[in-house]
């Protein structure tokens, strides 16, 4: 009998409904992570969890497994993923375990893993599962639990990394919507300590997520944030996902900034200080590369996924990496930390950046939102079959680094399997409506007999 369900070992983490991701599974994951840590001479691992109802039980079981493997635990308790990454780097041999379902529904949870500064994903995650099934999990003694609070140290080093001697240069009025996720336990305090006037919206941590789903890239989830920004004439609205590593932004005028356009704004900020390289995921607009080139930088498309982004940021020595989903990582900080990204943005606004004015200068294309088709079978096998059979008569090239990104002279189309949920992901961007319709027809033919989803254009 299998100890753990294979289907919850995803591309970037362990994730699934708690009917599958049980406390017993979390225990075995803890044992396996502990065994791998000891094999790498890692003695201490940081452990934290988000505000989901299932998290305390899963965190306790994971801790039990780590201790039985002979590894000591630096326990943060309930904390955001960025604070877990920080604690891992500075207090726990660059190793950490985060219990979080991120932006998934309340009945889901997950486990993100870092050992020696490297995210455990892909083949390494499957190796972890195989180690559990092979019962290659030596017991050991010597593990102890230390409770730690890293908030003050995190704030001090964040300020130092951004270049703040004290507070930001002028008082910013910011509305913060944490969607009842774990970021609510840290973000309001953090931004107040940076010198902002903070208005809280759904910042009480509640694993039922009673107000809206904690996914800041879905426009409906930002409806009340937009209204509050307008009501209070705030400088900006900021939203976080369930564990605080994805950022959403609403401007003073009420514009929601898509993740790829927010990446272009961050590129403007960092490339004004020095020239360098910018990374964007395959779901992002062609306008990212165009804008970075205008700013004198270079850019590169990479596979979607926070682990790919951080690894490539380090390997390429890029200044910045970002995704359509709202993950951003900066050189010098190194991880996808929405608190840090939000602080960088607020500092720039305090120094005179006008978000609405800059958005008006960015290149604009017609684009669909991220479209999804629910699947019952394996999405990656379906995409592989589409790649083998489909034809795209008017395409200029096709990239296979993450699904199919089909490039055209006047746009692009994307067909890829999600690595976190059983869906096929599609996106189209084009210079005009006729080009978008043509690309849609080619993608629709490629995925047939699956129906092409209905959508409204982002403009």
For 215-267, write each residue's pLDDT tens digit: 998 999 999 999 999 999 999 999 999 999 999 999 999 999 999 999 999 99
For the segment 278-292, what is each residue's pLDDT rounded down to a tens digit? 999 999 999 999 999
Residue 448: count other Cβ atoms within 10 Å of its Cβ.
Answer: 11
Residue 446 has pLDDT above 80, yes or no: yes
Average pLDDT (50-55) is: 97
Q: How far apart are CA 35 and CA 31, in angstroms?
A: 6
Residue 418 has pLDDT above 90, yes or no: no
CB of 210 closer than 8 Å to CB of 324:
no
pLDDT at 205: 97
Residue 45 has pLDDT above 90, yes or no: yes
Average pLDDT (339-363) is: 96
pLDDT at 275: 96
Domain 153-361 has CATH 3.40.120.10: yes
For the segment 180-226, what is each residue's pLDDT rounded down to a tens digit? 999 999 999 999 999 999 999 999 999 999 999 999 989 999 999 99
Alpha helix stretches (DSSP H) within 4-114 = 23-39, 55-68, 81-91
Domain with CATH 3.40.120.10 in the chain: 6-149, 153-361
Residue 68 has pLDDT above 60, yes or no: yes
- Give me the chain's average pLDDT, please: 95
Residue 459 has pLDDT above 70, yes or no: no
Nearest to 325 by CA among 427, 401, 208, 459: 427
pLDDT band at 1 (very low <50, low <70, confident <90, very high): low
Strands 145-147, 72-78: pairing is: parallel
For the segment 87-107, what is each residue's pLDDT rounded down to a tens digit? 999 999 999 999 999 988 899
Residue 195's Cβ-side half-sphere holds a number of Cα atoms within 13 Å equal to 14
Whether 299 is catalytic: no
Domain with CATH 3.30.310.50 in the chain: 366-447
Domain 6-149 CATH superfamily: Alpha-D-Glucose-1,6-Bisphosphate, subunit A, domain 3 (3.40.120.10)
Structure token digits, residue 344? 């960088």
Q: How far is CA 189 from the centre of its chain?
A: 22
Average pLDDT (377-399) is: 93
Residue 69 has pLDDT above 90, yes or no: yes
Residue 163 has pLDDT above 90, yes or no: no
Residue 458 has pLDDT above 70, yes or no: no
Q: Say which residue, 456 or 189, is predicted with more confidence.
A: 189
Q: How far apart are CA 33 and CA 45, in angstroms?
A: 9
Angle at 196 (CA atoms; ends 190, 200), nearest 5 degrees: 70
Which CATH code for domain 366-447?
3.30.310.50
Q: How far apart are CA 182 and CA 428, in angstroms?
A: 33
pLDDT band at 169 (very low <50, low <70, confident <90, very high): confident
Burial class (CB within 10 angstroms; exposed 0-12, middle 13-18, buried 19+) of 304? buried
Find the catalytic residue in 22, 54, 80, 102. Answer: 102
pLDDT at 2: 80
Burial class (CB within 10 angstroms; exposed 0-12, middle 13-18, buried 19+) of 232? middle
């Amino acid at each position: 009998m299998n100890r753990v369900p294979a289907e919850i070992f995803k591309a970037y983490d362990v994730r699934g409904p708690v009917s599958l991701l049980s406390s017993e599974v979390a225990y075995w994951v803890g044992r396996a992570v502990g065994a791998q840590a000891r094999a790498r001479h890692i003695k201490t691992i940081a452990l934290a969890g988000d505000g989901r109802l299932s998290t305390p039980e899963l965190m306790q079981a994971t801790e039990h497994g780590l201790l039985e493997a002979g590894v000591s635990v630096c326990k943060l308790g309930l904390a955001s993923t960025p604070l877990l990454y920080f604690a891992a780097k500075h207090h726990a041999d660059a190793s950490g375990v985060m219990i979080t379902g991120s932006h998934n529904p309340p009945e889901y949870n997950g486990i993100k893993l870092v050992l020696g500064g490297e995210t455990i994903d892909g083949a390494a995650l499957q190796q972890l599962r195989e180690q559990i099934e092979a019962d290659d999990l030596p017991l050991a003694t010597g593990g102890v639990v230390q409770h730690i609070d890293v908030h003050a140290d995190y704030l001090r080093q964040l300020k130092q990394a951004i270049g703040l001697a004290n507070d930001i240069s002028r008082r910013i009025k910011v509305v913060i919507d944490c969607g009842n996720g774990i970021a609510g336990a840290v973000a309001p305090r953090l931004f107040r300590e940076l010198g902002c006037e903070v208005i809280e919206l759904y910042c009480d941590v509640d694993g039922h997520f009673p107000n809206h789903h904690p996914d800041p890239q879905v426009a409906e989830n930002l409806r009340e944030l937009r209204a509050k920004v307008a009501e209070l004439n705030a400088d900006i609205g900021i939203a976080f996902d369930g564990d605080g590593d994805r950022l959403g932004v609403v401007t003073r005028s009420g514009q929601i900034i898509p993740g790829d356009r927010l990446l272009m704004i961050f590129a403007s900020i960092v490339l004004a200080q020095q020239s360098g390289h910018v990374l964007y995921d395959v779901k992002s607009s062609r306008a990212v590369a165009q804008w970075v080139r205008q700013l004198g930088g270079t850019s590169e498309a990479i596979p979607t996924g926070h682990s790919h982004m951080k690894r490539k940021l380090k390997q390429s020595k890029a200044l910045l990496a970002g995704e359509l989903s709202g993950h951003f990582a900066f050189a010098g900080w190194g991880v996808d930390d929405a608190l840090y990204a939000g602080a960088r943005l607020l500092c720039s606004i305090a120094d005179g950046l006008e978000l609405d004015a800059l958005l008006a200068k960015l290149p604009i294309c017609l684009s669909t939102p991220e479209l999804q088709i629910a699947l019952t079978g394996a999405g990656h096998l379906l995409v592989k079959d589409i790649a083998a059979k489909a034809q795209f008569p008017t395409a200029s090239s096709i990239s296979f680094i993450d699904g199919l990104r089909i490039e055209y002279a006047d746009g692009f189309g994307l067909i890829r399997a999600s690595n976190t949920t059983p869906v096929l992901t599609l996106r189209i961007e084009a210079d005009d409506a006729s080009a978008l319709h043509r690309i849609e027809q080619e993608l629709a033919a490629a995925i047939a007999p699956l129906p092409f989803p209905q959508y409204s254009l982002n403009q």
